[in-house]
């Protein structure tokens, strides 16, 4: 995908001849382990080559000026370093504002204002973490511009805090972690309770990971997401009346099956079931990939989707149609939704020499069932958030 001349854009938007520094943070896909992060379980995400670019320059005064080439309608959004409170009229710029606010509150000195231009090539609202990508690119640009040494995990946690406390979505730590710690050609197996993690090389030989966007916008995602989280918390509380566990991620499938009667509400029981089984699938997935057993890995992806469809109920007609159609194509090893759900993207592992027919067939069937087309991207797994050195873009 061609990237526009961002230096030119920066200089004309901010009417300056100054040369800014350039930073990049990727988006992410999650191979498996969905809605397990805020339940103390495991996730298995990877950072992708699409993401958010930010060009930034310090100012002499205390003004912050933000411009996004993805939301040109909102123009330059301006505020002051001394007032970083959430402001609805600041729309998308609340994400970087939140990061700046919390970095200052953690004791790092941001002495001057800045001009920052953002450009993202992650489709918005597609479940590939465009918001965590903006947060993380803002974290690394502050580090770079003000010569700060901030532990990467601290930036990751601040990004999550922005979502939870500043924006009001009670998301887990997966997205910021995958984006902050991503490594080229590797996925990350992360234990969300202890934050221990390991990298697993993704070598798919004759296959590629396709990202398929339902192109359904996820307007209700925030509220439904928070609802799922509370249902899991209620299920956990019921289980804790008898079991000394800290999170649903502590339970094996056997323990869950024996003790699930403790969960009073039937819907909550289904939510917890998904989490426990998905957590075990995620651990199994790592082992299978290590053994090069792609077929079994694909089966786990399929099971994961079914569980998100029937027990967690976060898929919807578009994702289900897409995933079912994808799976029926020759050369497909597995397919599932990725990210929060409620629309957004699916991923499929597809044989390289079947890609064209895969795209054509899936798109045809999807468009006739849904009324509009899907979009297809091949995912390459790239490095995490960083400064782009060696000249601006």
Query: Among all residues, which ones are annotated catalytic?
Result: 175
Q: Residues 185-224 vs ligand GLA: string with x where CB under 6 A?
A: ----------------------------------------
- By the rule CB under 6 A, 34 interacts with ligand GLA: yes
From the CB of 129, what's the least distance to ligand GLA, in Å?
A: 6
Cβ atoms 123, 59 nearer than 8 A: no
Q: What CA–CA distance (Å, rounded) separates 175 from 90? A: 23
DSSP result, 190-202: EETTT--EEEEE-
What is the rounded distance in angstroms from the CA atom of residue 325 to the CA atom of residue 235? 34
Q: How far is the CB of 221 from ligand GLA (least distance, A)?
A: 8
What residues contact residue 35 under an 8 Å CB cut-off, 6+ apart?
228, 232, 274, 275, 278, 308, 312, 314, 340, 341
**In this structure, are strands 386-388 and 345-351 parallel, antiparallel, or unpaired?**
unpaired
Whether 123 and 375 have beta carbons less than 8 Å apart is answered as yes
Q: Which two tokens stand for residue 86?
A: 């959430």
CB 382 to ligand GLA: min, Å: 18
In the bound state with ligand GLA, the residue whose beta carbon lies nearer, of 113 and 139, is 139
Of 15-23, 168-176, 244-252, 298-306, the segment contacting ligand GLA by CB under 6 A is: 168-176
* Cβ(389)–Cβ(24) below 8 Å: no
Q: To the nearest whole angstrom, how small is the minimum distance from the Cβ of residue 10 to ligand GLA? A: 29
Nearer to ligand GLA, 77 or 235 (CB): 235
User: Between 64 and 335, whose beta carbon lies closer to ligand GLA?
Assistant: 335
Within 85-144, the residues that bind ligand GLA by CB under 6 A are 129
38 binds ligand GLA (CB under 6 A): yes
Nearer to ligand GLA, 130 or 321 (CB): 130
CA–CA gap between residue 318 and residue 358 (Å, rounded): 17
| Contacting positions for ligand GLA (CB under 6 A) | 30, 34-35, 37-38, 129, 171-172, 174-175, 339-340
């Amino acid at each position: 995908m061609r990237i526009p001349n961002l230096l030119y854009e920066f200089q004309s938007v901010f009417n300056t001849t100054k040369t800014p520094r350039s930073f990049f943070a990727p988006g992410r896909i999650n191979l498996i382990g969905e809605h397990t992060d805020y339940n103390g379980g495991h996730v298995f995400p990877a950072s992708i080559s699409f993401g958010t670019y930010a060009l930034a320059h310090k100012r002499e005064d205390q003004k912050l000026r933000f411009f996004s080439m993805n939301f040109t309608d909102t123009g330059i959004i301006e505020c002051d370093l001394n007032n970083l409170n959430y402001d609805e009229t600041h729309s998308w710029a609340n994400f970087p504002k939140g990061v700046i606010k919390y970095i200052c509150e953690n004791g790092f000195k941001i002495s001057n204002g800045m001009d920052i231009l953002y450009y993202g090539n992650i489709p918005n609202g597609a479940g590939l973490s465009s918001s965590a990508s903006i947060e993380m690119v803002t974290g690394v640009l502050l580090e770079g511009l003000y010569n700060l040494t901030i532990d990467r995990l601290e930036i990751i946690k601040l990004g999550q805090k922005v979502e939870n406390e500043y924006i009001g979505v009670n998301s887990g730590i997966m997205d910021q972690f995958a984006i902050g710690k991503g490594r080229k050609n590797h996925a990350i197996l992360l234990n969300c309770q202890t934050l221990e993690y390991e990298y697993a090389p993704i070598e798919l030989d004759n296959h590629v990971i396709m990202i398929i966007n339902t192109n359904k916008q996820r307007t209700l995602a925030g509220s439904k997401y928070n609802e799922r989280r509370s249902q899991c918390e209620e299920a956990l509380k019921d289980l804790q009346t008898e079991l000394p566990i800290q999170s649903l991620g502590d339970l094996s499938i056997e323990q869950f099956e024996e003790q699930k009667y403790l969960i009073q509400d039937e819907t909550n029981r289904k939510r917890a079931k998904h989490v426990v089984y998905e957590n075990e699938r995620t651990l199994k997935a790592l082992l299978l990939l290590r053994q090069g057993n792609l077929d079994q890995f694909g089966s786990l992806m399929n099971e994961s989707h079914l569980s998100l469809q029937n027990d967690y109920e976060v898929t919807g007609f578009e994702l289900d149609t897409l995933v079912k159609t994808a799976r029926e194509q020759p050369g497909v090893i597995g397919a599932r939704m990725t990210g929060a759900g409620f629309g957004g993207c699916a991923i499929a592992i597809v044989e390289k020499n079947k890609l064209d027919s895969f795209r054509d067939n899936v798109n045809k069937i999807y468009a006739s069932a849904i009324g509009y087309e899907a979009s297809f991207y091949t995912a390459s797994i790239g490095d995490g958030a960083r400064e782009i050195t060696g000249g601006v873009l």
